[in-house]
Chain A
Amino acid sequence: MKRHIKYLSVWVLLISTLQTNGVSAHAVVTDYSLKLKPIHAQQADHIELTFNSKIELGLSQIFLVSKGDKHDLLTAEMGKKQGQIIIKVPALVAGEYAIRFKVFAADGHITEDVIHFTVS
C-alpha cells in the first residue's frame, strides 16, 4: 500500500510543480485619456489610466519609453475616480512614445502592459 501512497504523492507533487503564469493578470486598463486627449509637443501634461481593479500605487512603476526603447521613470498619483491613476508627463518632442507600467493590484496580481501614443 505504501507504493500507492508513493504514487499519489508523486502525482500531486508533479502536478503541483506545473502551474504556470496566465497570459495577463487580472488588472487591466479599461480606459485612458490618450484616446480623447492627445499629448502635444513641448507641453508638460498628464495621462489618466483607469483600471478595472484597485491599484497599489506605492508598489507600481510607470515608465515613459521613447525612441531606442529608452526608459524614464514617471511619477503618478491616484485620481478621483475608482481605479484611476494620473501620470505626469514632461514636455516631449514630437514622435512615437509608449507608457510601460508594472502595477500591483489589490487582488495580488502584478500586471505589465504597454500603451503606445504619438506626440505631435
Chain B
Amino acid sequence: MAGIADFLDSLIGGFDLICYSLLMGGVFWGLFVLKPWQKDNNYNIELLNKTISLIYKGGFLLAAAQFFKIVLKVWLMTALLGRWPFPEFADTTQFIGGIIRTFFSILIAAYVYGILRNNAFSQKHWLIAIVVSLPLLISGAWLVHAAGRFDNRALLMTLTVFHQLGAAAWVGGVFQLGNVWILHKRQLISTDNWPFLLRNFSKFGMISVGFILVSGFPIAFQYIDSWDGLVGTGYGNLLMVKVVLLGLALGLAWLNRSAMLAFFRTRQTAALFGRVPHYVEAETLVLVILLFTAASLASQPPAIDISSLTASWQEVVNTFAPQIPQTTSPSHVALIAGEAGRVAIIDQVPSLAATEWSNYNHNIAGIFLTVMSFFAMLSYSHKLPFTKYWPLGFVGLGIFLFFRSDAETWPLGPIGFWESTFNNGEVLQHRIATLLVLVLGLFELTARITKNPDSKLPFVFPVLAAFGGLMLLTHSHVGFQAKSAFLIQVGHTTMGIFALILSCGRWLELKLDKPGKEIAGFTSVAALFLIGIVLMFYREPLY
C-alpha cells in the first residue's frame, strides 16, 4: 500500500493550497472586494451567507487536509522504514508545525462560522478575521520547503508565505466570483452585483498578481542560479510551466477585464453576462492546476543544488526533434530478459529493449492522437459524417495502453494486477491514465452522436482532458538519474500544457457563441494534434 500513500501524500499538497485559497482568499475578498459594511452596495444576506460559507468550509477542509498530511507521513514512513516512526517523528518540525497549523486552521474556521457569519456586515469583524488568521499564516512558514534549507532560510520562508498569500488572494477571489455568478443565475442576488464585484475584483486581482510576482522573483533567483538551471532541470521546468499557466490565466483575466470595462462604457450586457462567466470557469480550471503544479514544484530539488545534473538547452531541444516514429517493438521476452539487469543496483545493465519498448508505446500513442485530431478537424466541415466517430480512437488507445504501459505486470508480466497497482505509484498512475482514456473515448463518442441538445455528456471530455493534463504535468518516472528523469519530464509537461489548452478550448467551445466558439474549438483540436506530434517524436534515454 506504499504506492497509494506516496500518491496521496503528493496530491494532498495541491488540495491544501485549494483550501488555503478558499479560506484566505475569501477573507481578502470580504475585506477588499465585497466590503459589505458599505451602505451603497446593494448586497443581500444570501450573498453574504454563501461568501462566508465558502470561507469556513475552506478553513475546516484545510484543517482536515493538514491533519491528513501528518497521517500520510506516518503511513509512508511506516511503509518505507518498516517500523512505527514514533517517538522520533513527534520531535520533527513537520509534526509539531503540522499540529499547530491544524489547530490554527480550526480556530479561524470556527471564528468565521461562529462569529463572522452572524456579523457579516461588520467591518470590525472582518478585520478581526485577519487578526485571527495571522497565527495560521505565520505557522505555515515552518512547513514550506524553505524551512529545511541552510542559506537565507528566514528570508525564503517569509517570501514563500507572501507568495502563497498572493496566490490565495487571486485564486480565492476567482472561486468567489464563480460563487457570485451561480447566485446571479439562481436570481438570488441583485443583477448589478455581478458587474460591480467584477470591477472591484479586477483591481484587487491585479494587486494580487503583483504580489505573486514581487515575492516570486526573489525565490526563483535563490533556487535557480543560471539559464541552464531554468531550462535544464525539473525545478526550472516546472517553474516555466507555472509561468505559462500564469500567462494563460492572465489572458483569461484580461478578457474578463476588457468585457467589464466595455460594459461600464457602453452598458452592453452580452459579453459580461454571456462570455465572462465561462472565462471565469476556464480561469478557475487553470488556476487550480497551477496550484497543483506549485505543490509539485516543492518536491523537486532546486536547480542550484544539482548543477552537475543539469541538462543543456541543446539536450532539451533534442527531445522535441522530429524523428521517424518507431513502429516495431522488441518482443516481450526480450524486454523481460533485460529487466533484472536494469533494476539491479550492483552490476546494473541498461536495457535497450526497455527503452525501445517505451519509445514504441509513446510513438504509437502519438500516431493515434495525430490521426484522431486530423479526423476531428475534418468533422467540423460537416461533409464527412463518419468523422464524428473520431473519439473511438481513444478506446483503441486505451486498450493499447492497458497491454503496453507496464510490461512487467499483468496481463503480460509476472506481477499481479492488484499487487502492481497498489504497491507502485507509477503503475497506479498508468492504470488511472488507461481508464481515463477509455472513459474519455466512450463519453465523447456518446456525446457526439446523441440527439439530445441538452445533454451534459459533452462536458465530460474537457473535464477528463484537464485531469489528464494534470497527470502529465506531475507525471513521475522513478528509477532514472535526475538528468534522464528531467529529459522525460520536459516532454510530459509540454503535453500537459497542451492538454490543459485542449480542455479549456473544448469547454469554451461548448459554452460560447460564435465566433469565440469556433476559435476555442479549433484551438482545442490543434492542441490535441500537438500532443500527438510530441508523442510521435518521443525518445527515451537508455537506462
Interface of A with B (CB < 8 Å)?
Answer: 1, 3-5, 7-8, 10-12, 14-28, 30, 52-54, 56, 58-59, 61, 65-69, 82-83, 96-98, 100, 102, 104-110, 112, 114, 116
Contact = CB atoms under 8 A, between A and B. Distances in A.
Interface of B: 6-7, 9-15, 18, 69, 73, 76-77, 80-81, 85, 88-89, 91-94, 143-150, 178, 182, 185-186, 234, 284-285, 288-289, 292, 295-296, 298-302, 305-306, 344-347, 425, 429, 432, 456, 459, 463-464, 466-467, 470-471, 474-478, 480, 482, 485-486, 489
Contacts of B69: 108
B90 to A, nearest CB: 10
Given A4-B185, A107-B147, A26 B480 contact: no
A11 B88 contact: no
Given A11-B463, A18-B470, A107-B145, A67 B11 contact: no
Contacts of B144: 107
Contacts of A65: 345-346
Given A17-B11, A18-B470, A109 B346 contact: no
Nearest to B477: A23
Contacts of A116: 345-346
Contact of B92 (A18, A20, A21, A106): A106
Contacts of A107: 94, 144-149, 298
A24 B480 CA distance: 10
B300 A23 contact: yes
B80 A26 contact: no
A58 B145 contact: no
Nearest to B475: A20
Contacts, number: 186
A67 B284 CA distance: 53
Counting from the closest, the 9 A-B pairs by CB-CB distance are A22-B299, A19-B11, A58-B88, A106-B148, A107-B148, A53-B148, A107-B145, A52-B305, A23-B485
Contact of A105 (B81, B148, B477): B148
A3 B455 CA distance: 12
A4 B91 CA distance: 45
Contacts of B150: 52-54, 82-83
Contacts of A21: 6-7, 9-10, 299, 425, 474, 476, 478
A110 B178 CA distance: 37
Given A66-B346, A106-B93, A54 B148 contact: yes
24 contacts: A3-B456, A5-B182, A8-B284, A11-B463, A15-B289, A15-B470, A16-B18, A18-B470, A19-B10, A20-B425, A20-B474, A20-B475, A23-B482, A23-B485, A24-B300, A25-B299, A59-B77, A59-B85, A83-B150, A96-B347, A102-B80, A107-B148, A108-B69, A112-B80
A17 B345 CA distance: 33
